[in-house]
Structure 1
C-alpha cells in the first residue's frame, strides 16, 4: 500500500496537558513560553454589547427588545436571540457591511423611542436623582391624576346634557360608582370616585364651559367652510324658536349644530323673526356662503320673502318636514268625524273605573292632553295617532258604555254603529300611519336635500296609487280599512277627493322641490342627464365629464361621485355638489333638540327658554371635543389668574 503523505499538522509536536486552555471567570489564559495572552470569552447566558450590532437587539429589564420588529424577547440566551434574528431578519441585512450595520443601528435607536430601555443596558448607570427632580416627578404625577378626574367630570357632564338629565344626576352617578368600587373591594377606585366633582353647580359650570368651547368651534367652522345652510324651526308644542346650521367643508365633511334657541313670545311677526335670524348669523359670520334656508311650519309669503332678500338671504327657501295635522287635518277640517273623535276622547278621560287596555289608554290620554298648548287643536290627535288607538279599542269602549250608563255615552255608542264614521276613522288612522312613516324617513341622519325630495316624491306617488286602489276596494297598504272591510261592507271610493286634496296640499307645500328637479337629477347621476337642460355654467364641464371613459366605468352616484371628481378638471361641478350636499335634508337634529327640551322642561319648569340654549347645544352637537385640552386650558387660565 502507498504511504500516507505527511501533513503539516503531523510534523508539529503534540501539546502537553499543561499547555491546554484553562478557564477562570470568563478569562482564558494560554501559556506559551514566557508570554501570556488574555482573551475575552462570551458567556451565552449574559447579555453582550456586541449583540446590538450582530442581532439589532438592546437590553431590557429581564430580557431583550428587537429594534427591527420591536418584539420583546423574554430570554437573553444567545441561542434564542440568534434564532429570532436568523428566522426573521437575516435576509434583510445579509448584504450589509459592518459600517452599514453601525449606521442602521444608530437609525434604529433614534427612530425607536427606547431611551428608557437603553438606560437599563449593562455599562449604563442611571444618573442620581436630586431632590428637585423627585419633587418635579411627583408634581407631574399629581397633575396627571387631577387632569384625569377633571376629564371624567367633563365627560359625565357632557353625557348628562346629551341625555337631557337634571344636573343633580351627577350625584347618582357618583354614588353608584362608589358602591360599585366598594362591592369590588377596591379602595383606590373608591378614592377616585369620591374625588370626582359632580355637584349640581359643578355640572352646570362644566356644561357652560363645554358650550363656550363648542360655540368657538362652530364660529371657526363657519369661517372656513365651503357652504352652510340654515334651518329655522318654530316649535308651537313648546313655544320655541330654534336656528340650526348644516356646515360643509371642502372635503365633504358635514356637521349640524344649534346656533341659537329662544322663546317665540317676542317673535310673533315676520320682521321680528328676520331680525333675530340676522342677529344670530352676524354673531357667527355672514350669509355669503349660505346655500339654503329650511323652515318647519311657516308659509313663505311675499312679505316674508322680501324681508329675507333685504337681509341678503337670496338662497332657496323650503320646508324640511311634513306637518301631519296640516296635511291630513285640512282635508277633514269641516268634517264631523274630528268632532266625534274629540267627544270619544273626552269620554275616555272621564271614565271612572276603566279596566285592562282602556285603563292605560285613559292614563296616557290625560298625560298628553295636560302637556299640550291650548291652540294645538289637531296636533294632539295626530302626533300619537289617536285615530288608530280608538279604532283598535272600539270593542273595549262599547263594552264600557254598556256596563256604565254614563251621561253622553249613548251618543258615542251610536258613533261606532255608523259605518260612515268607522270608514273615515279607519282611513284617518291609516293615512296618519303613512305620514308618520314618512317623517321617520325624514329623520334619518346624514341626509341632504336630494334625500328629502326623493322621500316627498315617493310619498306623493304612493298617494296617487292609493286613490286607484281604493276605487277597486284593494286595501293592501291600509290595515285598518282592510280590517273594517272584513267586519262589514264598506265603500271608500267616496273619500278619494280627500286624498286628492292631500296631494294638492303636498304639491303646494313643496312646490320649490319640483322647481329644483333638474339640479337634483344632476346631483344624483350627472352621467345620464341631458346637458342642454342644465345650468349654462356647468354645460362645458358636463361635456367632458360624460366623455370621460374612466368616470363612466365607475359605478358611483350622488355624493360619492362628486367626492371622486378632480378639483382641477371639474371645479364648477365639484362646487355644485358641495352646495347641494350642504342643504338640510333631515329633521334629526330638530327632533333630538325637542326631546332634550321636553326632558329639561319636566325637571326645570321654572327655567326660562333662553336657559335651555347651552344645554341643547351641548346635547345635540356633533363637533368632536378634546376634553383633555379643555382641562389643560382651564388650568392654565387659573394659574394666570392666580399670578395676577
Structure 2
C-alpha cells in the first residue's frame, strides 16, 4: 500500500493491503506511471547538481551516470552523496567554468563512427569479449594491454603475421577497457531495471561492510519473480556511507534504490544483516518502515545469525590454546619447527600433511580447523614434549577436561558448519532455507537427548575420545555440555521466531497436494479442492516453484499468488556476501583508489547472472 494512503479509509475500504498479507485478498499491485507525473528536467539542475539533459533523462556531468527518472529528489541525492564534497567549494563564475569543463568532457564521449568492415567489427567484438573476461575475473583494467601483447607474441610464434596484425587492431588500452565496461554495465543495468519493472513481486537483501580503505559500503540486492515464475537475483545498488552508519542512513539509501521502481509497492520482504534491534517492530529499520506505512516482512539474515550463535558456546579459552600451539608450530625458529613437524607426521604416518594457516575467522570457518587439530592431537603432543617449548601447552593436550571440551567444540562446530553449507546453496528461496533451520532445531533437541543418555554416536570426536579412554577403565561424562546445547536451542528459537509466522504458508507452498483442506486458509480451500481432485496435477512430482508454475492462472489465482510471493523471497543475504567478496577483490590494496562509479560497474558485471549480448552492443552506433 502506498505510504501516503496508509491512513486513508477509502483506500482501506477498496481492499488495498500490504503485499506481505499472504491472504489472496491482495489486489493486483499498482504500478506507478512515471510518464504521467509531469516530471521534466529543470535547467537549474545544471548549476545546482551538475546534471544535464540527455535523451530526456538527467545525466551527471561528473560520472556520466544517467538516472532513470527525471525527479529532483533522485538528482539531488546523487549529487549530495557522490560529488558535493568535491564540488561544493566551486561557486559563482568559477562553478560555471567547472561546469563548462565537465560538459566538454561529456562531449568527448560522443558516439564513434560505426565499424565499416568485418575486420573492424571483429576487432571491436574481441575487445568487448576480453574486457568482459577482465571484469568477470576482477582483474585490473591495465591487464588489457598486457593480454594484447601476449596475443601478438603468440600469433608471431606460430608464424602468423596476419593474425598478429589482427590482434594489433584490437583496442585494449586502460581507457578502452573502462569504456567497454561502462557500456556493458549500462546494458546490464537496463536489463535489471526491466526485470524489476515487469516483475510481480520482489524482495530486497541488504548488507553493510567495510572495504580496504575503511569506507562503509552498503549493498542492496534484489530478487524478482514475474508471473511465469522466472526468478532473478541481481545487484541493485552500491553506496558508500559516510561516518557512523545509522538505520536512517540505510533506510534512505534503500528508498533511493527502489524509488525509480515504484518504491515498496511490490516488495514482499527485506532481509538484512545487522543487530537484532534493527528488526524490532517499533525501532530500527523495521520501525522506519512501519512509520512510512510499508508492510513488507522484515527478516534478519539467517546465514550470519548462525555465526552469532557460535559465541554462545563460551569456549574461547579452548580456541586460544589451539591457536597458540598452531602459531608456535608455524612461526617459531623461522619455519624450522614447522618443517620438523611435517617430517614427524610423515614418520608417524599420520593423516594430513599440515595444520591450516591460522586466521581471524568466524566460528563456522573454524570447523575444519578444529577437526584437523583434534585428529593430530597425539602427534602434536609428542612434538611439544620433544622441543620442550611450553609446559602449559603440553599439560593442556594431556588434560582430559581440555580434550573433552575440544572434542565437543569440534563436533558442534562441524554441525554448525554443515548447516551453514546447506543455507548457502545457490538460488535457494526462503522455503528451502526454513526447512534447513527446522531440521537443525530437531537435531539439536536430539543431540541434547543423546548427551543426557551419554549416547555419543552422533558426536564423532567425543565418541572417539570416549572409546579411547574406556579401555583404561575411565568413563567420560559429556552431559556437562548439555547447557551449551540448550543455549543454542534457545538462541535459534528466539532469533528465528520471525520465520514462524510463515510456517503455514511455507507448508502449503511445499506440498499443496497433501494439505489439510479443512485447516487451510479459507481463501485457498476451494482451489485446494479442485487441485487435489485434478488427476494430472496429482500425478506430478515437481515441488515448490516448478509445481506452482504448472497451475493455471484462471483456475488457481490465489494459490499462484501465494507461490509468487514465496518464490520472490530471499532466504539469506548470501548474494550480498558474495558481492562483498568480489568487491574486496576489485578494490584491493593495489587498486584502492578506484572510484565508486567504476567500482559499481565492475561489481555489477562480476556478479550478474545476465548474459551481455555483445552483438547487440555492436549494433549500436556508440560502439
Using structure 2 for the length normalisation, give the TM-score.
Answer: 0.71
Distance 1:467-1:179 versus aligned 2 partners, 3 A rule: farther
Q: Quick check: 1:614 aligned with 2:595?
A: no
Q: Quick check: 1:432 aligned with 2:413?
A: yes
Distance 1:322-1:381 versus aligned 2 partners, 3 A rule: closer
Larger mean Cα displacement after TM superposition, 309-318 or 443-452: 309-318
Q: Quick check: 1:220 aligned with 2:194?
A: yes
Give the equivalent residue in structure 1 for 2:147: 173
Describe how 1:51-66 pairs up with structure 2 within 5 A.
none
What secondary structure is seen at the aligned counterpart in 1 of 2:338? coil
Deviations along 1:119-154, one digit per CA (max 9) or x if unpaired, are xxxxxxxxxxxxxxxxxxxx9994332222222222
**Equivalent of 1:273 in 250, 253, 264:** 250
Q: What is the distance in 2 between the residues matched to 1:551 and 1:155?
A: 45
Q: Quick check: 1:556 aligned with 2:542?
A: yes
Give the equivalent residue in structure 1 for 2:34: none
Q: Is the 8 A contact 1:151 1:627 kept in 2?
A: yes
Distance 1:167-1:520 versus aligned 2 partners, 3 A rule: same
Distance 1:630-1:384 versus aligned 2 partners, 3 A rule: farther
Deviations along 1:398-447, one digit per CA (max 9) or x if unpaired, are 344334444xx222222212212212222222222222222222222232
Give the equivalent residue in structure 2 for 1:328: 310
**Equivalent of 2:338 in 326, 344, 355:** 355
Q: What is the distance in 1 between the residues matched to 2:210 and 2:516?
A: 44
**Equivalent of 1:519 in 505, 513, 516:** 505
Q: What is the distance in 2 between the residues matched to 1:454 and 1:358?
A: 44
What secondary structure is seen at the aligned counterpart in 2 of 1:516? helix
Q: What is the distance in 2 between the residues matched to 1:286 and 1:252?
A: 21
Q: Is the 8 A contact 2:509 2:563 kept in 1?
A: yes
Deviations along 1:25-71, one digit per CA (max 9) or x if unpaired, are xxxxxxxxxxxxxxxxxxxxxxxxxxxxxxxxxxxxxxxxxxxxxxx
Of structures 1 and 2, the one with the larger relative CO (CA 8 A, separation 6+) is 2
Q: Is the 8 A contact 1:445 1:586 kept in 2?
A: no
Describe how 1:120-199 pairs up with structure 2 within 5 A.
142-199=116-173
Q: What is the distance in 2 between the residues matched to 1:225 and 1:545?
A: 26
What secondary structure is seen at the aligned counterpart in 2 of 1:637? coil
Q: What is the distance in 2 between the residues matched to 1:247 and 1:416?
A: 53
Q: Quick check: 1:306 aligned with 2:287?
A: yes
Give the gaps of 5 or more residues in structure 2: 1-112, 343-352, 471-475
Give the equivalent residue in structure 2 for 1:503: 489
Q: Is the 8 A contact 1:388 1:429 kept in 2?
A: yes
What secondary structure is seen at the aligned counterpart in 1 of 2:559? helix
Q: Is the 8 A contact 1:287 1:312 kept in 2?
A: no
Give the equivalent residue in structure 2 for 1:211: 185
Give the equivalent residue in structure 2 for 1:484: 465
CA-CA distance at 1:617 after TM superposition: 1.0
Q: Quick check: 1:637 aligned with 2:622?
A: yes
| CA root-mean-square deviation | 2.9
Distance 1:426-1:247 versus aligned 2 partners, 3 A rule: same
Q: What is the distance in 1 between the residues matched to 2:317 and 2:196?
A: 51
CA-CA distance at 1:242 after TM superposition: 1.4
Q: What is the distance in 2 between the residues matched to 1:140 and 1:337?
A: 67
What secondary structure is seen at the aligned counterpart in 2 of 1:262? strand
Distance 1:615-1:547 versus aligned 2 partners, 3 A rule: same
Give the equivalent residue in structure 1 for 2:239: 262
Q: Is the 8 A contact 1:226 1:289 kept in 2?
A: yes
Deviations along 1:349-396, one digit per CA (max 9) or x if unpaired, are 65223224968967832xx34xxxxxxxxx445424333343234345
Q: What is the distance in 2 between the residues matched to 1:532 and 1:283?
A: 43
Give the equivalent residue in structure 2 for 1:46: none
Q: Is the 8 A contact 1:401 1:413 kept in 2?
A: yes
Distance 1:524-1:211 versus aligned 2 partners, 3 A rule: same
Give the equivalent residue in structure 2 for 1:623: 610
**Equivalent of 1:461 in 442, 457, 460:** 442
What secondary structure is seen at the aligned counterpart in 2 of 1:622? coil
Distance 1:394-1:582 versus aligned 2 partners, 3 A rule: same
Q: What is the distance in 2 between the residues matched to 1:596 and 1:347?
A: 33
Task: Report the count of equivalent residues.
Answer: 484
CA-CA distance at 1:201 after TM superposition: 2.7
Q: Is the 8 A contact 1:562 1:574 kept in 2?
A: yes
Distance 1:607-1:538 versus aligned 2 partners, 3 A rule: farther
Q: What is the distance in 2 between the residues matched to 1:596 and 1:616?
A: 7
Q: Quick check: 1:448 aligned with 2:429?
A: yes
Give the gaps of 5 or more residues in structure 1: 1-138, 370-378, 639-644
Q: What is the distance in 1 between the residues matched to 2:439 and 2:268?
A: 25
Q: Quick check: 1:383 aligned with 2:383?
A: no
Q: What is the distance in 2 between the residues matched to 1:200 and 1:488?
A: 65
CA-CA distance at 1:477 after TM superposition: 3.7
CA-CA distance at 1:207 after TM superposition: 1.8
Deviations along 1:460-509, one digit per CA (max 9) or x if unpaired, are 22222222333444444433323323433532221122112112111112
Q: What is the distance in 1 between the residues matched to 2:362 and 2:437?
A: 24
CA-CA distance at 1:629 after TM superposition: 1.5
CA-CA distance at 1:605 after TM superposition: 4.8
Q: What is the distance in 2 between the residues matched to 1:357 and 1:225?
A: 61
Q: What is the distance in 2 between the residues matched to 1:384 and 1:199?
A: 43
